[in-house]
Structure 1
Amino acid sequence: MGGAIGTVRLSLFPLSGALLFPGLQLPLHIFEPRYRAMVSDALARDRRIAMIQPQAPSEGAPLFQVGCVGKIEDVEALEDGRYNIVLSGIARFRVLRELDAKTPFRQVEAELLHDDLDEALSAVERAGFEREARSFADAQGYAVDWDSVARLDDQSLINGVSQIAPFDVAAKQALLEAPNLAARCELLIQLMQFFGRRDSDDGAVTLQ
């Protein structure tokens, strides 16, 4: 995993299955009062919100240790207090400790992690991924514009697929925690191979 580049205080939006990667975007509809308050607070300060996955769906559940900070790039404030926002990923982070915050939303002290956004795959790695992705998409009945896929840079392709892949919480977390792009690519291939071999369609692949 990338080295730490600084310690920060972050406001958290714990959401199972929702991943954000540096350089990518995530649209969100904010309707719960505490997270509406969080968005209002972020807009008044640095426009930053930290996405992280809880380890269970229950209130106040323990959190996974790694998430991604996003900056609110677009915001639509609705008349009833809800928001539609688009977060742009800035940096992954590792939770150091949860803070005893007075806010309705959870806050942590965290260290930001450095990711090499110029890292690229080898030609063999890229070809292997695209081959497995085609097989997986065919098996799942997904319609994919492969010409557009071919034009994506390696970061956008691997992180983009990781962000939207139909895997469970633990699998998606493992993708987020992968130490570099090549490792994330390799894990994605393994997950697609495993998921693609499943006979049933009653759920998502699991690493638990």
Structure 2
Amino acid sequence: MAQRFDLPEIIPVFPLPGALLLPRARLPLHLFEPRYLAMLEDVLKTRERLIGMVQPNPAPGRDGCTGLHRIGCVGRVTQFSETEDGRYMITLTGLSRFRMTEEVEGFTPYRRVRVCWDSFDRDMGPTETDPGFDRDGFMNLLSRYFNARALETDWESLEQADDELLINSLSMLLGFEPEEKQALLEAPSLATRRETLVMLLEYALRGGDNEDIVQ
């Protein structure tokens, strides 16, 4: 895995609504647009093989990064395969979050940004734990959410997953809105991400913007 000093100042970014990547997690992606196929081709020529995942931002752009949230997460291409019609299936393994400072002009069909890695030191450290995690209460809440949405899952695997894998996997996989995914990404620690996730699950069970309560 890359060390902090190996991370470059300029990275390509892939804006994809609702696609969340977190440190030490894996995100499968399907690439088929010509500009992102070109991005992958260029990335695979580098030693680091890094792609930054960011959420589009409908708010007015600031700091030279129009239409993008400033905080994203970079991942390393750890698996890739080509289909017969020229598309690619890849897997990104999350390394560290970053803060974009400006967009870099150039001749590539995809976007590149200058980034700062400060404030995200814990991302490159060991697996996080959550000492205050009430797992029984959380699993009960999650069960209510899955029942309300008529969703199925492998409950045995969820029960056996460690704190970080459980919280981060659910943050990435559940169908939250892009702004909610961004809030999960920006949570400074695993404990605050778990608190944010609980809040989103409870909000959904109350019916979201609707007044009807989901029983």
TM-score range for the pair, normalised by the shorter chain length: 0.7 to 0.9
Asked if 1:98 corresponds to 2:107, the answer is no
SS in 1 for 2:194: helix
| Equivalence for 1:48 | 50
TM-score under structure 2 length normalisation: 0.83
| Equivalence for 1:122 | 131
C-alpha distance 137-90 of structure 1, shift in aligned 2 (>3 A): same
Deviations 1:122-149 (A, max 9, x none): 2543333222212211221112222211
Is there any run of 5+ residues in structure 2 with no aligned partner, and where? 59-64, 211-215
**1:21-36 to 2 correspondence within 5 Å?**
21-36=22-37
Instruction: Calculate percent identity across the aligned residue pairs.
Output: 40
Q: Equivalent of 2:182, from 168, 173, 195? A: 173
SS in 2 for 1:137: helix
Moved more, 106-115 or 31-40: 106-115
Asked if 1:191 corresponds to 2:200, the answer is yes
Shift of residue 111, structure 1, vs aligned partner: 1.6
TM-score under structure 1 length normalisation: 0.86
Quick one: distance in 1 between partners of 2:26 and 2:169? Answer: 9
Quick one: distance in 1 between partners of 2:27 and 2:8? Answer: 24
Shift of residue 79, structure 1, vs aligned partner: 4.0
Quick one: distance in 2 between partners of 1:31 and 1:153? Answer: 34
Q: Equivalent of 1:137, from 112, 131, 146? A: 146
RMSD, aligned α-carbons: 2.2
| Equivalence for 1:204 | none
Is there any run of 5+ residues in structure 1 with no aligned partner, and where? 202-208
